Chains A and B, each alone.
Chain A
Amino acid sequence: MSRFQTFAGSFRMSMTNFFADPQWIIPNIIAPFTFTAVALIFFRNVTGSVALYAVLGGGMMGMWGNTLYGAGFALAFDRWNGTLEYVMGTPSRLVWIVAGRSASNAVLGLLNALAIFAVAVFGFGAQLGLADPLRFFVALVLTLASLSALGVVFCSSFVLTRSAQIMTNGLEMPIYVITGSMFPIALLPFWTSPFSLALGPTWGIDAMRYAADPTYVGMGFGYAVDVAVVALTLVAYLAVGFVLFLAVENRARRDATLVEV
């Protein structure tokens, strides 16, 4: 089976599983929705580019919630259902199976983001005027891809642990904070800057704000640089994720402790 067939089959299977029981969208979206609602209540007397932070940040959170939980549970459900050995036993590389699942979660993540935008705009009366919809869409899709690739990197370590659920819960909030999803990263302690700048979504959300509001200043590098860095981090995450997956898969096969760890 070719890599593309593996990827496509995994994507289709993941989508089918989701639509067989779509209630699982709720755990992925409830935290971003609640955080956005709290932020919109904080921001209720504020207008302009500042208010935009809440809406765009909520969208980014919605995407991360889905991609992270998708990554965390991509193999955890197999472990619980007793199908992990069969997945590992197929001649297809695990990384392409997980990539297909991550891609399906990314698509659902985009729907999450749109749902949060809709609730913010129609439910809370927030303003989401997009100065340049095309550039905004490019930044949105690149940010989503970057989040999804980051999820793949984390997922590689989840193969080796039964604590994937705990790690997933633990990783949700740090990304919200460190990427400055709803506030400028300049507010964070200076020593956190390297972590913030190494994360593609930090640049992605900045690019989205540039595209949405022409008066936005942000990190000061401009839209083009932001988008280029997101693309660069996307490639880097994919490369790291691929190498990690091969290493982890080999280790799991060598030690034969897949369901015991």
Chain B
Amino acid sequence: MAYVLRDWPPLRIFTSSAVFAFKALFSWLRPSMWVVQALLLPLFQIAFFVYLARFVQPSGTSVSFIAVGNAMQISAFSSIFAVCNITSEEKWQGTLIPIIATPANRFPLFLGRAVFQVFNAAVTVAVGFVYAQFIFGVDLGQANLLSLVVVILLTSVAMTGFGLMLGSLGLYLRTAMIIANVFLFIGLLLCGVNFPVSALPGWLQPLSYAIPMTYGTTAARAAVAGASLADLAPTLLEATAAGIGSILVGYGLFRAFERLARKHGRLEEF
């Protein structure tokens, strides 16, 4: 049975794609550089907004709220930026056409490309929480650690799905780098990272709730306050739905753009 499952084409494509993506990443990125990035990015992002909040001291906004929100949002560097650029990077390397020419199912192929970034995102968030507690004084004494771990993992998966959806645009556009940059930071405004979503204009709030990070920040704060998995189930279900919805929309867009690119012969136009 195990042999049959291992040879199941989608699983084989997913696995080989994930292994290739991992090897390709560390063929140009030194592991030490990866570690430095994982250690520095959360520290300075949390520091910036915590010191800003301490300076302004806005009523109703606490350091804990901001530190936890930014610790979660820092995962966007992996789950949004890196994942969104997958198609563009294939384009730059000249490997997109051979990939598109293969009969391999695109769904497991691009999921495999992105899977390391789920791990990457979760590690960065975990580092962010360590800083939140030991440098910025967030009290994790009451936190439900199991809930927090599940929230971090689920949000990383859901945000990676959102990144894949954005990345599908890179198949047709000259580059997805612009979109990647916009969505890398726009979460700071939209996803309840630094202030509640309710502080945004009403017309922007639906966009907030289309991004899985919004549910992730809400659930993480509840987990820090001690909420159990059962308490968090509705929020986690919403995050999962947003993540799965993103992946499905992304896959649909990818196939539509692939057909369009084939039709107009502009797959590598940039």
The secondary-structure label for the interface of chain A is helix
The interface residues of chain A lying within 8 Å CB-to-CB of B186 are 30, 34
Per-position binary interface string of chain B over residues 23-49, scored 1 when its CB falls under 8 Å from any chain A CB and 0 otherwise: 000001110010011001100110111
The interface residues of chain B lying within 8 Å CB-to-CB of A45 are 58-59
Per-position binary interface string of chain A over residues 170-193, scored 1 when its CB falls under 8 Å from any chain B CB and 0 otherwise: 100110110000111001100000
Q: Does B181 contact A (CB under 8 A)?
A: yes
Interchain Cβ contacts under 8 Å between A and B, 9 examples = A24-B178, A27-B178, A31-B181, A38-B189, A42-B61, A50-B56, A169-B41, A170-B36, A174-B44
Residue of B nearest to A80 (CB): B92
The interface residues of chain B lying within 8 Å CB-to-CB of A46 are 56
Per-position binary interface string of chain B over residues 8-33, scored 1 when its CB falls under 8 Å from any chain A CB and 0 otherwise: 00000000000000000000111001
Bound-complex Cα distance A174 to B48 (A): 8
Q: Does B116 contact A (CB under 8 A)?
A: no
Query: How far, in Å, is B92 (CB) from chain A's closest CB?
Result: 6
The interface residues of chain A lying within 8 Å CB-to-CB of B52 are 38-39, 42, 182-183
Given the known interface contacts A34-B185, A34-B189, A50-B56, the answer about A187 and B37 at a Cβ–Cβ threshold of 8 Å is: no
Bound-complex Cα distance A192 to B189 (A): 28
Given the known interface contacts A30-B181, A163-B30, A169-B37, the answer about A38 and B49 at a Cβ–Cβ threshold of 8 Å is: yes
Residue of A nearest to B40 (CB): A170
- A38 touching B194, Cβ below 8 Å: yes
Q: Does B2 contact A (CB under 8 A)?
A: no
Bound-complex Cα distance A216 to B184 (A): 34
Bound-complex Cα distance A24 to B178 (A): 7
Residue of A nearest to B28 (CB): A162
- A53 touching B29, Cβ below 8 Å: no
Residue of A nearest to B61 (CB): A42
Residue of A nearest to B39 (CB): A170
Q: Does B224 contact A (CB under 8 A)?
A: no
Residue of A nearest to B194 (CB): A38
- B41 touching A27, Cβ below 8 Å: no
The interface residues of chain A lying within 8 Å CB-to-CB of B184 are 30-31
**Which of B28, B33, B182, B189 is A37 in contact with, Cβ under 8 Å?**
B189
Given the known interface contacts A173-B48, A174-B40, the answer about A23 and B178 at a Cβ–Cβ threshold of 8 Å is: yes
Q: A38-B194, A170-B40 are in contact. List 13 more A-B contacts (CB 8 A).
A: A27-B177, A30-B182, A31-B184, A31-B185, A37-B189, A38-B49, A41-B199, A53-B55, A162-B28, A162-B29, A183-B52, A184-B55, A187-B54
Instruction: Tell me how many residues of A have a C-beta within 8 Å of chain B.
Output: 34
- A183 touching B44, Cβ below 8 Å: no
- B181 touching A26, Cβ below 8 Å: yes
**Which of A53, A163, A177 is B28 in contact with, Cβ under 8 Å?**
A163
Q: Does B188 contact A (CB under 8 A)?
A: yes
Interface positions, chain A 26-52, Cβ under 8 Å from B, are 26-27, 30-31, 34-35, 37-39, 41-43, 45-46, 50
Query: How far, in Å, is A188 (CB) from chain B's closest CB?
Result: 7
Q: Does B195 contact A (CB under 8 A)?
A: yes
**Which of A42, A177, A187 is B58 in contact with, Cβ under 8 Å?**
A42
Per-position binary interface string of chain B over residues 169-184, scored 1 when its CB falls under 8 Å from any chain A CB and 0 otherwise: 0000000011001101
Q: Does B77 contact A (CB under 8 A)?
A: yes
**Which of A24, A37, A183 is B51 in contact with, Cβ under 8 Å?**
A183
Query: How far, in Å, is B258 (CB) from chain A's closest CB?
Result: 23
Which 9 pairs show the lowest CB-CB distances between chains A and B?
A: A173-B44, A183-B55, A27-B181, A34-B185, A42-B56, A163-B33, A26-B178, A162-B28, A177-B47
- A187 touching B195, Cβ below 8 Å: no
Interface positions, chain B 141-191, Cβ under 8 Å from A, are 177-178, 181-182, 184-186, 188-189
Per-position binary interface string of chain B over residues 124-143, scored 1 when its CB falls under 8 Å from any chain A CB and 0 otherwise: 00000000000000000000
The interface residues of chain A lying within 8 Å CB-to-CB of B178 are 23-24, 26-27
Bound-complex Cα distance A222 to B134 (A): 36
The interface residues of chain B lying within 8 Å CB-to-CB of A1 are none
The interface residues of chain A lying within 8 Å CB-to-CB of B44 are 173-174, 176-177
- B51 touching A177, Cβ below 8 Å: yes
Given the known interface contacts A26-B182, A170-B41, the answer about A183 and B177 at a Cβ–Cβ threshold of 8 Å is: no
Bound-complex Cα distance A23 to B49 (A): 28
Per-position binary interface string of chain B over residues 61-100, scored 1 when its CB falls under 8 Å from any chain A CB and 0 otherwise: 1000000000000000100000000000000100000000
> Which residue among B41, B177, B185 has the maximum number of chain A CB atoms within 10 Å of its CB?
B185
**Which of B29, B30, B54, B59 is A183 in contact with, Cβ under 8 Å?**
B54
- A42 touching B53, Cβ below 8 Å: yes
Bound-complex Cα distance A24 to B180 (A): 12
Residue of B nearest to A26 (CB): B178
**Which of A43, A166, A177, A182 is B33 in contact with, Cβ under 8 Å?**
A166
Residue of A nearest to B45 (CB): A173
